[in-house]
Amino acid sequence: MNLSYPFFPSSQSRLLLVLLATPGALLAQTVPPPPPASALSAPATAADAPILLPTVEVIATAEKNPLDVSVDPKAPAQPIPAHDGADALKTIPGVSVIRKGGIDGDPTFRGMAGSRLGVLLDGQTILGGCGSRMDPPTAYVFPAAYDKVTLRKGPQTVLAGPGNSAGVVLFEHSPRTFCHPTADVHGALTLGSFGRNDQAVDLAAGAPLGYLTTSANRSESADYEDGQGRSVHSAYSRWSTQAALGWTPTENTLVELSGARSDGEAAYADRPMDGVKFDRDNLALRFCQKAISDTVQAIDAQLYYNYVDHVMDNFSLRPITGPAAVSNPDRKTVGGKLSATLTPTDSLETTLGADFQSNDHTLRSTPNFANLPRVKDSAFDQVGLFGEATQHLDTKNRLIGGARLDAWEAEKTVARLHRDDTLPSGFARYERDFGTSTAYLGLGHTERFPDYWEIIGAGKPNAVFGTEAEKTTQLDTGVITSHGPLKTSLSLFASTVEDFILIQPALAATPTRNVAARTYGGEASVEYAFASGWTATTSLAYVRGTNETDDRPLAQMPPLEGRLGLNYATKTWTAGGLLRLVAEQNRVAVGQGNIVGQDLGSTPGFVVFSLNGGYQLTAYAKLSVGVDNLLDATYAEHISRGGAAVAGYTTSTRINEPGATYWLKLDLSY
């Protein structure tokens, strides 16, 4: 399988990266490195110069916002640096990924998947087309193209769109300003076991009046092998390009036009078909004006267009064993958002606004689909009004709260079914600072409209179109600390879900049904720099769910998981290890689950040990290496999809994770 990258074929992209590295390496031998080009980078003295080579990320770090956890998507990470949106989240405690093959897994947080965990790309909604969830939103995400990934836990914001009962994931580009004409370029090459080969290039050029940023990414891999050396049908190849043109006539004004194109193909071990096309087109326009007056701090407006064209078949990437089958869904999403940030008083900040999205989905399913018209099978429309405010009671205490109201309409066009709902959401949270610690207590409520996969996708019968909206009320509490060499984070939650939307495919007449559910659990992490250059990290994540209607466990709950990490770093070298310990899971509800997968039965616990290291080659180049699953353990995640029969491959109860995986990443900046 070799899906050619439209601008830089594989060999040419490697040559490009070498050329980028060469002038930097030569210059580093003769002159000191230049100062940072961007006005966003502040000069540092020699005394407080940071370590040049960061440690490999094994556990994501908490942000100043106590409910946020952030990941640097460009940094080396263990397991092997992420190649899609779901993998980018693996270092966050509480996040699991439902494996389907080598790519395009579905992320879950605290056992919640699908539209319970929102995904926004620079504030934009993107949704897949496959009725069987072959292409979740994260399938169209190339993490290396973004500057920051943030998980915001719980229903504790109303600014990131409707639903999001478990949380929301934000893939974001950092704003760029240039005080004088300049340019910088970053390249990365990743090589690994099983034919893993990634290339990424980012270019930013600008002046005080504006900027141009571009990026190109390509990733491919052959089938991987599990710990027993058995091949898993999992090969893939994918590419992406993005560009943004910004106009900054003043330091407080921004007009940005951006766009993206991507495509790919992927083999799947969990179903009788593979994805042979993941085409995405994106166009967005944004306007932001800051410092308008003492009261109006900012106005931000955005319009966007996302279109995905997806093709799956049973013959392009696997031996055909029966009649040819093809499916070609697509989805067009048009959306926008307008918000104003106000400061009526010195102690009060408020954001008011509105957002909307319109989704049209079509489907055609015959081998000669390209010659047939598209048939529209559904449409979803949403308009929301929201407001969120922070009231500072004093220098240490604050109240944060928000509310939104969303008007929904949905059509199952082929059956001429229509429904509409008006759904409220809101939250209130109290935060208090104790020196270098922050504690919080929040109560949130969100009402989530059933998504396409719950009431229409995968041939859902008309009887489930009227499924009730899901209503989640959740208590979130915790504390984060940053005191010298010690950083800690503790997050606890408990939720009651009325009309939880449960998927049970065996009930063919009503595979989607509403039940009452409860969940509780949390995450804890500690980072301690106990000696010069040495840092120890640990994390623990646990969630427990109950289906109260059926008096049985809530399905698709990941088991207790702990991680222990040890890292050593100097200005030139890094080394580290990660021990991942996952408990058995016996609380199951076989045949029940979510839009991605259902429980298959109990799973045993497992232990995975991994190592990494790095070296700063020059001021412009750094090398990171690692081995994941060093002991070649054979294991599968509890929430993995079940294996399907693929000619030439061993069918397994669950899709096993990769065995020992060696990787190398070269980062170049100039």
Distance, in Å, from the CA atom of 373 to the CA atom of 379, rounded to the nearest integer, reads: 17
pLDDT category of residue 371 using cuts at 50, 70 and 90: confident
Domain annotation covers residue 234: yes
Tell me the average pLDDT across 55-82.
Answer: 88
CB atoms within 10 A of CB 369: 15
Per residue in 338-349, is it b (16+ CB within 10 Å) or e — as a string?
Answer: ebbbbbeeeeeb
Domain annotation covers residue 399: yes
Domain annotation covers residue 262: yes
pLDDT at 30: 31
CB atoms within 10 A of CB 29: 8
φ, ψ dihedrals at 23, nearest 5°: -60, -35
Tell me the per-residue pLDDT of 162-214, one tens digit each, with 9 for 90 and over.
Answer: 999 999 999 999 888 888 999 999 999 999 999 999 999 999 999 999 999 99
Q: For residue 299, count CB atoms less than 10 angstroms from its CB and return exposed for 0-12, middle for 13-18, buried for 19 or more.
A: middle
pLDDT at 53: 58
Tell me the per-residue pLDDT of 241-258, one tens digit each, with 9 for 90 and over.
Answer: 999 999 999 999 999 999
Is 434's pLDDT higher than 80?
A: yes
pLDDT category of residue 81 using cuts at 50, 70 and 90: confident
CB atoms within 10 A of CB 312: 28
- Among 228, 259, 152, which residue's Cα sits nearest to residue 634? 228
Domain annotation covers residue 4: no
Looking at per-residue pLDDT, the higher value among 27 and 540 belongs to 540
pLDDT at 54: 65
Per the CB < 8 A criterion, the answer to whether 326 and 366 are in contact is yes
Token pair belonging to 480: 């984060």
pLDDT at 133: 95
Per the CB < 8 A criterion, the answer to whether 427 and 476 are in contact is no
Residues of the domain holding 617: 10-669
Antiparallel, parallel or unpaired: β 470-483 and 486-503: antiparallel
Distance, in Å, from the CA atom of 126 to the CA atom of 267, rounded to the nearest integer, reads: 22
**3-class DSSP string for 27-56:** HHCCCCCCCCCCCCCCCCCCCCCCCCCCCC
pLDDT at 176: 82
Tell me, what amino acid is at 103?
A: I
Domain annotation covers residue 3: no
Tell me the per-residue pLDDT of 3-42, one tens digit each, with 9 for 90 and over.
Answer: 433 333 333 333 333 333 333 332 333 333 333 333 333 3
Domain annotation covers residue 614: yes
Looking at per-residue pLDDT, the higher value among 589 and 670 belongs to 589
Domain annotation covers residue 1: no
Least confident of 44-48, 49-53, 536-540: 44-48
Domain annotation covers residue 154: yes
pLDDT category of residue 43 using cuts at 50, 70 and 90: very low
Q: For residue 647, count CB atoms less than 10 angstroms from its CB and return exposed for 0-12, middle for 13-18, buried for 19 or more.
A: exposed
Is 643's pLDDT higher than 70?
A: yes
Model-wide pTM > 0.85: yes
pLDDT at 326: 95
Per the CB < 8 A criterion, the answer to whether 148 and 123 are in contact is no
- Among 127, 134, 198, 138, which residue's Cα sits nearest to residue 163? 127
Tell me the average pLDDT across 96-111.
Answer: 96
User: What value does the CA radius of gyration of the chain take, rounded to a whole number of Å?
Assistant: 24
Least confident of 11-15, 95-99, 185-189, 297-301: 11-15
Q: For the chain, how many residues are written? A: 670
Antiparallel, parallel or unpaired: β 124-125 and 486-503: unpaired
Read off the CATH number of the domain in which 167 is found: 2.40.170.20
Least confident of 49-63, 105-119, 411-425, 602-616: 49-63
The rounded mean pLDDT for the chain is: 91
Tell me the per-residue pLDDT of 379-414, one tens digit each, with 9 for 90 and over.
Answer: 999 999 999 999 999 999 999 999 999 999 999 999
Is 450's pLDDT higher than 90?
A: yes
Is 52's pLDDT higher than 60?
A: no
Tell me the per-residue pLDDT of 476-493, one tens digit each, with 9 for 90 and over.
Answer: 999 999 999 999 999 999
Report the run of H or E that residue 580 belongs to, with start and end.
strand 573-582
Biggest CA-to-CA distance, the chain: 74
Distance, in Å, from the CA atom of 515 to the CA atom of 507, rounded to the nearest integer, reads: 14
Residue at token pair 């009431």? 455
pLDDT at 316: 96
Tell me the average pLDDT across 138-151.
Answer: 94
As for how many domains the chain has, the answer is: 1
pLDDT category of residue 555 using cuts at 50, 70 and 90: very high
CB atoms within 10 A of CB 210: 18
